[in-house]
Amino acid sequence: MDEIRCCNKKRLCYSTSGRTLNTLASFFFFFISLTLAKAAAAFNVAAVPFDEGYRPLFGNGNLVRSPNGNAVRLLLDRYTGKPWRFQTNLYGNGSTSRGREERYRLWFDPSKEFHRYSILWTPNNIIFYIDEVPIREVVRSEEMGGDFPSKPMSLYATIWDASNWATNGGKYKVNYKYAPFVAEFKDLVLEGCPVNPIQEIPASVACVEKVASLVKEDYAVITPQRRAAMHKFRQRFMYYSYCYDTLRYPVPPPECVIVPSEKRRFKDTGRLKFGGSHRRQSRRRTSRSRVIPVSDDQSDM
């Protein structure tokens, strides 16, 4: 399973692996993308109406569709805080005990404007994107075995209160006087090979053409320019990586690529002290979050 999770300091979270909104079909290899509370320039992909690709898994009363059916809002009716934390993870064959988490700060406030969050999953790699910036790539290796996702998956998205465990063991609680809390999704994209998960159809037979099409798309290629942007993002905003957590993994998992500059920063714990999500700005400056271009001279990354 691939996961994107975003939480604020008080640990009100939204996630694309939760339990409220999910796809109608499972997919075997895919590119999924959604815009979450004005998006930056997006890949050349077509959005689908919510009811054509998704359904409420539960809590239908807390889901509000837009008049045109292209966006939905999820409500949590129970200290808005900052900064926001963003997490990615993946596991296969139920290997949840071997988490592959990375955590990041963001260069914008995700509650102010829409931004696009995307995952590409192919037989060879997984790429996580924010807008058009790749923030993480996991390249499949033989040593990973079944830990690399290889079974049909669905997209889940939800909002939930995780403050009973996620803030220093539950030290900070959500203050419900600020309710309702809302997560809004739009521009929903599904590209891939839809399958029936109860049918035993070899991927080599059912999905070979679709996979070949996926890996030829622009978003499947991390160009030198994008790789430089990814490196810059990770240098500035990543504050935890399992690959450098030697207390947890004395021997790094096989897919880890050890970057000397990152290793020096993280030392033995894989963790940096968590700071602010973005720099304080003068009140005279615009409140809109800055769009991060994919270039070597990204001033905000």
pLDDT category of residue 110 using cuts at 50, 70 and 90? confident
Residue 106 inside a domain? The answer is yes
Give the largest CA-CA distance in the chain.
60
Residue 250 inside a domain? The answer is yes
Average pLDDT across the chain, whole number: 76
Q: What H or E segment, with its residue span, contains residue 22?
A: strand 21-23
Domain range spanning residue 182? 2-271
pLDDT category of residue 28 using cuts at 50, 70 and 90? low
Q: Which residue has the higher pLDDT, 219 or 292?
A: 219
Report pLDDT for 38.
Answer: 45
Work out how many domains the chain is built from and give that number. 1
Percentage of the chain lying above the pLDDT 90 cut: 27
Residue 247 inside a domain? The answer is yes
Contact 199, 28 (CB under 8 A): no
Q: 260 — phi, psi (to 5°)?
A: -50, -40
Task: Please check the confidence at residue 23 and state whether its pLDDT lies above 90.
Answer: no
Q: What H or E segment, with its residue span, contains residue 204?
A: helix 203-206
Task: Please check the confidence at residue 233 and state whether its pLDDT lies above 90.
Answer: yes
What CATH number should be reported for the domain holding residue 171?
Answer: 2.60.120.200
Residue 282 inside a domain? The answer is no
Q: Three-state secondary structure along 219-262?
A: HHCCCHHHHHHHHHHHHHHEEEEEEEECCCCCCCCCCCCCCHHH
Contact 142, 235 (CB under 8 A): no
Q: Which residue has the higher pLDDT, 186 or 59?
A: 186
Specify the amino acid at residue 125: N
State whether residue 133 is helix, strand or coil. Answer: strand
Report pLDDT for 290.
Answer: 46
Q: Are strands 71-76 and 125-130 parallel, antiparallel or unpaired?
A: unpaired
CB within 8 Å of 165: residues ≥ 6 apart: none
In angstroms, what CA-CA distances link 76 with 163, 189, 248, 253, 299?
13, 24, 34, 37, 35
Contact 261, 235 (CB under 8 A): yes
Residue 190 inside a domain? The answer is yes
Residue 288 inside a domain? The answer is no
CB within 8 Å of 38: residues ≥ 6 apart: 113, 114, 288
CB within 8 Å of 4: residues ≥ 6 apart: 15, 16, 17, 86, 87, 88, 117, 119, 128
Residue 278 inside a domain? The answer is no
CB within 8 Å of 17: residues ≥ 6 apart: 1, 2, 3, 4, 5, 89, 156
Pick from 51-65, 202-216, 257-271: least confident = 51-65
Could you report how far apart the first and last alpha carbons of the chain are, in Å? Answer: 28
Task: Please check the confidence at residue 205 and state whether its pLDDT lies above 70.
Answer: no
Residue 171 inside a domain? The answer is yes
Q: What is the pLDDT of residues 162-174, one digit of tens each?
A: 888 767 677 778 8
CB within 8 Å of 53: residues ≥ 6 apart: 23, 24, 25, 188, 190
Ranked by mean pLDDT, the top range of 15-24, 48-57, 255-264 is 255-264
Task: Please check the confidence at residue 78 and state whether its pLDDT lies above 70.
Answer: no
Percentage of the chain lying above the pLDDT 70 cut: 67
CA distance 155 to 264: 36
Q: What is the mean pLDDT of residues 29-49?
A: 65
Ranked by mean pLDDT, the top range of 14-18, 70-74, 180-184, 257-261 is 257-261
CA distance 159 to 187: 18
